[in-house]
C-alpha cells in the first residue's frame, strides 16, 4: 500500500469522466437513456480500476500491504511499526502546468493497519481529495472520496481482498458559463487482486452514475486478465479495464 498524490493525473481522469455535453446545470438526475452506454460503461470500469491503482491520488491498493511508504507519518505501534493508526490529514498542494493552468489539491488521508500476531495482514484506508483547476478556457473541480478494507488472502501477501466504496464528483465550467456535471458511486464486494500482475481476478462492483440528461445503474463483474463484464439496463459489455475497449458482441 502506498499513498500517491497525482493531481495532474487526477484532473485528466476527472475530465474523462464527464460524458454529458456542455449545458446549463441541473442538479437532479434524469432517467433518460440517450447516452452511448457501451462507451460510458467502459469509462466507468476504467475509472474504478484507476482509482484502485491510486491514479486519483490517495491509496494504491495494487501496492499491497508490505510496501507501505509512511515516512513522516505518525503512528501508535507497540509490536510492529505498521500496527496502529497513521494519518496525513493536511494535504495542501498548489501546482501549475505551464503558464496558463493553475491548480490546487487538498484533503486528507487516513490509514489503520489490521494486524494478526503483531504483523500486518491488511488495512483500512480512507481518503478524501479535491482538486480545482483554472485555465484560459474555464475551470474544473474534481472530488474523490474512497473507503477501502484490504485483507491479505495468502501467507506471502501476493493476493488481497478488497471491499469498500468510492464516490466521484466532477464539474467543468467553460468561459460561456456552460457546465458539465458527473456523479458516480461504486460499492465494491469481494474483489480479489493479484499484486504481481496488478490484475483484479474476481469480485463485483455495483455503480450509479449520472449527469445532465442521463442516469445509469449497473454492475461490474471482474474476470481477470484485466477484463470485466459491465451490465447496464440488461445489456452486458465486455470491457478491458486498462484501455476501456469494448467487445460489444457480448450480450
How do the pLDDT tens digits run along the chain, 251 residues long? 544 444 333 433 343 343 333 333 344 344 434 457 777 777 778 878 877 876 666 667 787 776 543 333 333 334 445 566 565 566 787 878 778 888 888 888 887 888 877 777 888 888 888 888 898 888 988 888 989 898 999 888 899 999 999 998 888 888 887 878 788 899 999 999 999 999 999 999 999 988 878 888 999 999 999 999 999 988 898 999 988 888 765 44
* Residue range(s) defining the domain that contains residue 149: 2-247
Report pTM. Answer: 0.72
Crossing angle (nearest 10°) for helices 7-17 and 37-52: 160
Domain count, the chain: 1
Question: For residues 86 and 73, is the Cβ–Cβ distance under 8 A?
Answer: yes
Determine the distance from the C-alpha atom of residue 199 to the mean position of all C-alpha atoms in its chain, rounded to a whole number.
15
Vertex 119 angle, CA 118 and 120, to 5°: 125
How many other CB atoms are there within 10 angstroms of residue 194's CB atom?
A: 15
In angstroms, rounded to a whole number, what is the distance separating the alpha carbons of residues 225 and 175? Answer: 42
- Rg of the chain over CA atoms, in angstroms? 19
Please give the DSSP secondary-structure letter assigned to residue 104.
E
Question: For residues 179 and 171, is the Cβ–Cβ distance under 8 A?
Answer: yes
Amino acid at each position: 500500500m502506498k499513498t500517491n498524490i497525482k493531481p495532474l493525473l487526477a484532473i485528466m481522469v476527472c475530465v474523462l469522466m464527464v460524458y454529458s455535453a456542455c449545458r446549463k446545470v441541473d442538479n437532479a438526475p434524469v432517467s433518460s437513456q440517450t447516452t452511448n452506454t457501451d462507451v460510458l460503461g467502459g469509462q466507468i470500469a476504467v475509472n474504478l480500476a484507476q482509482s484502485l491503482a491510486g491514479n486519483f491520488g490517495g491509496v494504491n491498493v495494487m501496492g499491497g500491504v508490505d510496501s507501505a511508504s509512511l515516512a513522516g507519518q505518525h503512528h501508535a505501534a507497540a509490536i510492529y511499526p505498521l500496527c496502529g493508526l497513521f494519518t496525513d490529514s493536511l494535504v495542501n498542494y498548489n501546482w501549475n502546468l505551464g503558464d496558463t493552468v493553475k491548480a490546487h489539491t487538498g484533503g486528507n488521508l487516513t490509514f489503520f493497519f489490521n494486524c494478526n500476531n503483531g504483523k500486518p495482514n491488511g488495512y483500512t484506508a480512507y481518503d478524501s481529495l479535491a482538486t480545482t483547476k483554472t485555465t484560459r478556457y474555464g475551470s474544473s473541480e474534481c472530488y474523490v472520496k474512497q473507503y477501502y478494507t484490504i485483507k491479505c488472502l495468502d501467507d506471502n501477501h501476493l493476493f488481497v481482498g478488497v471491499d469498500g466504496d468510492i464516490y466521484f464528483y466532477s464539474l467543468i465550467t467553460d468561459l460561456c458559463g456552460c457546465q458539465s456535471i458527473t456523479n458516480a458511486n461504486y460499492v465494491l464486494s469481494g474483489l480479489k487482486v493479484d499484486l504481481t500482475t496488478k490484475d483484479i481476478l474476481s469480485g463485483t462492483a455495483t455503480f450509479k452514475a449520472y449527469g445532465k440528461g442521463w442516469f445509469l445503474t449497473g454492475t461490474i463483474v471482474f474476470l481477470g486478465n484485466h477484463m470485466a463484464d459491465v451490465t447496464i439496463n440488461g445489456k452486458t459489455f465486455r470491457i478491458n479495464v486498462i484501455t476501456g475497449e469494448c467487445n460489444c458482441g457480448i450480450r
